[in-house]
Structure 1
């Protein structure tokens, strides 16, 4: 029998290499070079081969267990060497905390200064962060820097273009046409340090002990609930966070611009057109909105009398607004408040992942109720790449982060 833990570690390491290639290209705002494309394709083939090997080994171990007809224990040499699912891991952690399979993950948690919990291996934690552009707004569209293997929670600092006074949208870089024999003018880019330090964030869920005994059910339910909660919590922080022990939200950052609405408590076609005019075009813009604006949005018409928003109601109310996708967020302020509608390009937002996910399970607070509290915690930070709006050559100001405000007094 092969060691599934080691096989999955190798697969996770290979995927980290693939992510590093993608991150490098994204950071440099370019696609893959021919050499990188070839290298990435090779790693993809290796990763698929590893996944196939893992699946075969899982089947082999399950067959060995069923053939024996007896329940395996940690002392048995043929004891299953890896957890079948996230639910199986939680169930084991709660019912048999001294299971030998937990030892390594507990040590990994301690090496990250986490006590009383265990590290969730990549094959399971990836499920919790497996969000799509339909289920999360920011993470699938932002530049994500993965956690460093040796010091995952260490701060990272890199240069960001300075759009401050006396600068331009290229951070002070100027291009000049030079006549023959003329001196080349000196120019230098203006940068400011962008520092990202992963902050700890935690969520918890209460489950009955009866449910906890069913590893298949707990895997399905807990994974789904935690994934939704993580997605919502991160979106809220990446959009509206104040930067105090949490990410700096794009909408509340100095890089955003606010367009005052024409009429209090109302969103008009003119407001939407005005927001688009203030947005930095050319990227992957997306609208995010409060569900409370739907009555106005669904009945809004342009000057020719055409409905401007006709969503696919059968597919989670997806659709486009002035050509750009729109997503409805539970975190958005209610109709009439600032930011009930925003237009953003998260290619200008940077996320730094830290250590985690870790889990803890405790029955003590709810022991008499036969319930267990499951806590998941991880570390992450995020900030806009810009420190101010962008100024075009003609002086017109735009931003990748535009919010609809309240009327001017």
Structure 2
């Protein structure tokens, strides 16, 4: 008797036990002696069957991790659901004809994506469960969810226009109105902001022996791909040029560059000047290159106090003049424009598209008994402001501040 049959038998036993209880309850009485004897007999059978199922499940898990058991759609032992992402990847690689994959192949074809299998939502959502500690932009930005009907179609949003003749509210004017006075018209100005998800892919090479170990590959794929997704997106959302990728906040027309006082250095006054140009009142966060650490760790204010004392045990996290700071691996080197930035990412929009998709191929590395696992998804992003904000007094601020080069 295979696992499917064992589970069906256990369900039948539980139904019989439930029937005996419901019969007695329906007649508002206790169970008769015969009913009690029957219930005890069924309970014993159910406990024995449950133990047998656990043994069979363990044996099957060992078989999958060792020999890579293949199952065809006609095989009655195939499971109805994947246990985890590792089980899914193992099946894509070693048993591509498993009936469980049919639904997800159809979903991939529905998005006009070829070469990959759509990752079940319960697993793909975990890959995008990126916390503010793991990624800078996505957890803090405005994220537009996937449109299931047309996941990769372009979408147009209204973006505030802070251009000439406007103001920091896109031209919206507020007036006090006396009793009986005519209400003035407002002049809200908007521009169209179009987002079209671009495809982005990552891959990893693993041994066939490792990929047969579903629990191990589940841990590896989840951890490595989640980290790669966060790093790739942060790089594009901050520094992307908009060519076949998102348009980065730091490269946008809304960004303001604050000249540094001395080339290849970051001084206390530079940081003060950056805060002075930031649009306050939001959720500002610093993004920095690790190469500036020697400058920050020894930097003092005018009173001789260290201005940055990070939590070294927690990934060098901390605050810089009251705002949290994150060190990005793709940030420019010390002395380059943008080696230190101060951003409010509530002014950045991300549009998710189709994905994630997974494909596994052994062909390029067949002789080495290795497999290339490829994961790809679609996403776009842009700032939703078009220019720096001009305050009523004429002073200019921005949600995107970058440290620039010296003026002389």
Q: Same fold (TM over 0.5)?
A: yes
Aligned to 2:110: 111
Aligned to 2:193: 194
Tell me the CA shift for residue 192 of structure 1. Answer: 0.5
Tell me the CA shift for residue 220 of structure 1. Answer: 0.8
d(CA) in 2 for partners of 1:261, 1:61: 70
Q: CA deviation digits over 1:122-151, x for unaligned, max 9?
A: 111112112111110000000101101111
Aligned to 1:240: 239
CA shift in 2, pair 1:352/1:247, >3 Å: same
Aligned to 1:406: 405
Q: CA deviation digits over 1:215-242, x for unaligned, max 9?
A: 1111111211111111100000000001
CA shift in 2, pair 1:127/1:180, >3 Å: closer
Q: CA deviation digits over 1:161-182, x for unaligned, max 9?
A: 1101110001111112234444
Q: CA deviation digits over 1:243-301, x for unaligned, max 9?
A: 11110100000010000100000000000000000001001100010001011100000
Aligned to 1:98: 97
d(CA) in 2 for partners of 1:294, 1:63: 59
d(CA) in 2 for partners of 1:288, 1:309: 14
d(CA) in 2 for partners of 1:377, 1:217: 21
CA contact 1:61–1:80 (8 Å) conserved in 2 = no
Aligned to 1:337: 336
RMSD between superposed Cα atoms in Å = 1.8
CA contact 1:361–1:375 (8 Å) conserved in 2 = yes
Tell me the CA shift for residue 116 of structure 1. Answer: 2.3
Aligned to 2:294: 295
- Output aligned runs, 1:105-254, within 5 Å: 105-254=104-253
CA shift in 2, pair 1:192/1:231, >3 Å: same
CA contact 2:300–2:307 (8 Å) conserved in 1 = yes
TM-score, normalisation: structure 1: 0.83
CA contact 2:199–2:376 (8 Å) conserved in 1 = yes
d(CA) in 2 for partners of 1:90, 1:69: 19
Which is further off, 399-408 or 362-371?
362-371
d(CA) in 1 for partners of 2:406, 2:100: 60
d(CA) in 1 for partners of 2:350, 2:210: 35
CA contact 2:78–2:98 (8 Å) conserved in 1 = no
1:255 and 2:281 correspond: no
CA contact 1:259–1:404 (8 Å) conserved in 2 = yes
CA shift in 2, pair 1:398/1:369, >3 Å: same
Greater gyration radius = 2
d(CA) in 2 for partners of 1:376, 1:219: 14
Count of matched residue pairs: 351
CA shift in 2, pair 1:265/1:395, >3 Å: same
Q: CA deviation digits over 1:374-407, x for unaligned, max 9?
A: 1110000000010111111001000000000010
Q: CA deviation digits over 1:175-211, x for unaligned, max 9?
A: 1223444433222200111111111111111111111
d(CA) in 2 for partners of 1:148, 1:275: 38
Tell me the CA shift for residue 68 of structure 1. Answer: 7.9
d(CA) in 2 for partners of 1:176, 1:253: 32
Q: CA deviation digits over 1:66-124, x for unaligned, max 9?
A: 45887594434453211111111111111111011111111111111111210001111
d(CA) in 2 for partners of 1:345, 1:122: 30
Structure 1 residue runs of 5 or longer lacking an equivalent are 2-59
d(CA) in 2 for partners of 1:105, 1:182: 63
Which is further off, 315-324 or 127-136?
127-136
d(CA) in 1 for partners of 2:145, 2:243: 22
TM-score, normalisation: structure 2: 0.83
d(CA) in 2 for partners of 1:164, 1:61: 70
Tell me the CA shift for residue 63 of structure 1. Answer: 7.1
CA shift in 2, pair 1:149/1:126, >3 Å: same
